[in-house]
A and B are shown apart, each in its own frame.
Chain A
Amino acid sequence: MSKVSMTVNGKAVSGDVKGNTLLVEFLREDLRLTGTHVGCDTSQCGACTIHVNGKSAKACTMFAAEADGADITTVEGMANADGSLSVIQQAFQDHHGLQCGFCTPGMVMTAAALLKENPKPTEAEVRHYLEGNICRCTGYHNIVKAIMAASGQDVSAIAAE
């Protein structure tokens, strides 16, 4: 066991972890931040996407020990300070960008990383950036639309709700 300390959603946290404890296990089991999900075991689905030092990462692909000293943001840290939905979260609700909600935390985190890198992405750029996030419910239509809307682009010409 080794002690790790990190900042998660602005709060200093620490814990004892085994060498092979995954970061996602530390977040979910030790910190009880269950918004970060596990949808696969091959780093393909992206349901566990978080931000590590401002960049998106898959929490199933990092050991907790590797995150020692890091600044972590999970979906629980994405709402505005007053608890209201952030622009990206609100766009997902406004455009029906989620159904069962299981991939959603990862989608929100990936979308935030994209818009930080590329504030006005094209449809093709959004789709390409989502290659590491699988959604089985929405057919991606409303996720892509929500992310483009969150970037301030007019999406009214995109078909249907």
Chain B
Amino acid sequence: MPKDQGIGASTKRREDVRFLTGTGNYTDDINLHGQLYVHFLRSDVAHGKINSVDTSAASAMDGVVRIFTGADFEGIGGLPCGWQVTDRHGEPMKEPAHPVLAQGKVRHVGDPIAAVVAESVQAARDAAEAIEVDIEELPAAVDMKEAVKDGAPLVHDDIGTNLCYDWGFVEENKAATDEAFANAAHVTTLELKNNRLVANPMEPRVAVGDYNRANDESTLYTTSQNPHVIRLLMGAFVLGIPEHKLRVVAPDVGGGFGTKIFHYAEEAFCTFAARQLARPVKWTSTRSEAFMSDAHGRDHVTKIELALDADNNFTALRTETYANMGAYLSTFAPSVPTWLHGTLMAGNYKTPLIYVNVKAVFTNTVPVDAYRGAGRPEATFQIERVIDKAARELNVDPIALRRQNFITEFPYATPVAVEYDTGDYNATMNTLEEIADLSGFAARRAESEKRGMLRGLGVNCYIEACGIAPSNLVGQLGARAGLYESATVRVNATGGITVMTGSHSHGQGHETAFPQVISEMIGIPEEMVEIKHGDTANTPMGMGTYGSRSLAVGGSAMVRAAEKVINKAKKIAAHLLEAAEADIELKDGTFSVAGTDKSVAWGDVTLAAYVPHNYPLEDIEPGLEETAFYDPSNFTYPSGAYCCEVEVDPDTGKVTIESFAAADDFGNIVNPMIVSGQVHGGIAQGIGQALLENCAYDENGQLLSASYMDYAMPRASDVPFYQVDHSNGTPCTHNPLGVKGCGEAGAIGTPPAVINAIVDALRSGGHDHVYHIDMPASPSRVWAAMQK
């Protein structure tokens, strides 16, 4: 029987009721008394020198309150970068200034030049059109490899280069890796691109700044995955407001996928302007604006080489990657192609020698930062595509080649500095073969061929590192933040519990899943537990939600705080039962004395804590509320095996996803329904990357894909029902729940499965020259590949 409460139950989500009835509270639903509206005038060129910005006519227009330009932000901090990478030569990365409003130059289409604050959105927009901007357009750096050549246009003149850093990992492995290549029986080489994407949560970003002159307090309502991080970055580095005078609220947030982690200029502007004008200031992004101001994702160009011995064992792996940073360093941008990418290059395989080189490049494009998976999809795509190509070159079964090279003993220390605690890659592959019905593929291919279609099968594995992250480790790697999580468990007098978590839900279902854990620990109904998140005023300092960390890190903090609560409650129960504390057991919401029929209910103990008449006041304080900060000792390492079957129309190159199966190891599972949903969403984003989505710039740095008319989002008819399985959980060994995290797996594991399947389909049609197709595998690209 499936459980109906606690860990392992597919509890229906309580937050759904408000979302289904239109009673959610998203940031754009917030309107404050006396509120003003801001419209940003943004650069329509990729690169240019600002000669003048004349706001005089615009300022005189009806409804305009004030127009701000870069000059208003001189002497005020720029947007900070939260991660410093050290390059191959021990030098720190280049870290250019990032002003809130452009100063001197514009550096990408969408760079904000001026901000019009007015009584209505329409008045602000109309006035923005009346601002006279004299910009001398400059040649733009767009292509990364061109941008690092001598004589290329410089995005930032003061740093003298477009190369942010040249990173080698592990530098000490380089010579031995090169030697292994020299001695290899076979080397497979693949050049590929990881296409630039836009995260596109369905809720555009919104910021509302408010200022209370009575107590000198600022409040920012914002669409953020991590309000405490925004409070710290904006308060300490941009505006100089101490945290105790600054409150950041991220209420219901309509999806994030990484792009709502970062601290953006619009947040700082609204907070700043509200203080200047002593009125609330609101900004709501349009979708077109989102395309040119939300941090983008991916955009790597890579050459990967895999060395094998005569028995097809992997002996070495070597890569050279160009990673686009865009025009400025977004909050965590430098970490994505380095520590979230290079450390994953072992994949699921016992390749003994690995060397990764990453050149991060400034270009006149929107900043690039973490998007669902962040570095790990890029790593997985390279590894799994090059293995697939190697199998085809060597004429061996791609699954057998993978199995032969699987890591099978744990813990396993990779040559790229991480230690996998648990996993069973053969188990997930076995499950995949079953749920994807691989044995039936030949018959399905024959049936497709009868209809004149090409059918292909693509299989791959993935591993990722999440549950981000041990603070002391990431500090050594350049992080300028800790990556613990916090929770306060507040037991109320009548026994109900309020959990304040530093974690943040923007679709993941914390309000449902977190109470399942507390319910399991104490033995009370889930309905007795409520989760509060998203407001710095009533939650402990926490780092928020990204990197599949909520349950692994935030859930662990909650468990630690609940353990403290239970320990104290046992002391109270021992007093009430006149027994030794060591003899007290808690089960099903009742404290009992071991081996006796003496017991006291949870609610009687909690009441005693707040009405301490019969209470050990000499030993313990009244009340029942505890806080814990949990800092993980390692990353977690979810893994899995994915399978995609496609049909390709040989006349048009159109690819149809016929089936998709995912077998994941997420460790222990708290809510299987939610976990499956997370995988579904990630798969669709992976299919989107592989077949549809592409953020495109022309050679002048014009953004060509700035609306849903131009950027192809996956729609319901682009995807099938998915087969997902997470029955092979090998529990994480180092967090109290044994959980690994499931939020990003689908986006990481899916793209190579799709491309492997398309290559397989084309080769089955006699196109033996096809080893790779760049993403997105649009009909034109697939058709062109068949014409050679």
Contacts and interface: CB of A to CB of B under 8 A. Distances in A.
B22 A93 contact: no
B26 interface: yes
Interface string B642-661: 00000000000000000000
A160 B724 contact: yes
Contact of B708 (A89, A134, A144, A145): A134
A76 to B, nearest CB: 4
Contact of A36 (B22, B31, B677, B714): B22
Interface string B707-747: 11100011111010111110000000000000000000010
A132 to B, nearest CB: 9
B441 interface: no
Contact of A39 (B22, B23, B202, B680): B202
Given A130-B716, A144-B721, A136 B257 contact: yes
A75 B204 CA distance: 20
A76 B715 CA distance: 25
B20 A130 contact: no
B767 interface: no
Contact of B21 (A45, A89, A94, A135): A89
Interface residues of B, number: 61
Given A93-B13, A96-B13, A41 B22 contact: no
Contacts, number: 197
A121 B116 CA distance: 49
B21 A134 contact: no
A142 B506 CA distance: 18
Contacts of B16: 92-93, 98, 101
Nearest to A155: B721
A128 B708 CA distance: 18
A150 B272 CA distance: 48
Given A34-B29, A100-B507, A101-B16, A40 B716 contact: no
Contacts of A134: 202, 708, 713, 715
Interface in B191-209: 200-204
B713 A144 contact: no
B24 A35 contact: yes
Contact of A138 (B17, B26, B681): B681
Given A39-B204, A134-B202, A75 B677 contact: no
B719 A140 contact: yes
A141 interface: yes
A161 interface: yes
Nearest to A79: B21
Contact of B201 (A44, A100, A145): A100
B252 interface: yes
B478 interface: no
A136 B255 contact: yes
Contact of B707 (A41, A79, A105, A141): A41
Given A34-B29, A39-B287, A45-B202, A89 B20 contact: yes
B755 to A, nearest CB: 18
A74 interface: yes
Given A100-B254, A101-B252, A142-B680, A160 B722 contact: yes
B548 interface: no
B674 interface: yes
A57 B288 CA distance: 22
Given A40-B707, A94-B12, A139-B683, A100 B202 contact: yes
B201 A141 contact: no
Counting contact residues on chain A (CB < 8 A from B), the size range is 35 or more
Nearest to B19: A101
Contacts of A34: 22, 26, 28-29
B302 interface: no
Interface in B661-717: 672-674, 676-677, 680-685, 707-709, 713-717
A137 B681 CA distance: 5
A134 B676 CA distance: 19
A102 B202 contact: yes
Contacts of A96: 12-13, 673-674, 676-677
Given A40-B287, A137-B681, A101 B721 contact: no
Interface in A90-146: 92-94, 96, 98-105, 108, 123-124, 126-128, 130-131, 133-145
A64 interface: no
A47 interface: yes
B216 to A, nearest CB: 30
Contacts of A145: 721
B261 interface: no
A39 to B, nearest CB: 5
Interface string A31-65: 00111111111101101000000000000000000
B19 A104 contact: yes
Contacts of A138: 677, 680-681, 684
Nearest to B746: A139
Nearest to B724: A160
B254 A41 contact: no
A85 interface: yes
A84 B12 CA distance: 15
B716 A143 contact: yes
B582 to A, nearest CB: 42
A159 interface: yes
B255 A137 contact: yes
Given A74-B22, A134-B708, A136-B713, 18 more contacts: A28-B29, A37-B254, A42-B288, A76-B23, A85-B17, A93-B20, A99-B255, A99-B508, A100-B253, A101-B19, A133-B716, A136-B681, A137-B507, A137-B677, A138-B677, A138-B684, A143-B716, A160-B725
12 contacts: A37-B203, A44-B707, A44-B709, A96-B12, A96-B674, A101-B24, A101-B252, A105-B19, A131-B716, A135-B202, A136-B201, A159-B722
Closest 3 CB pairs of A and B: A35-B22, A101-B19, A102-B254
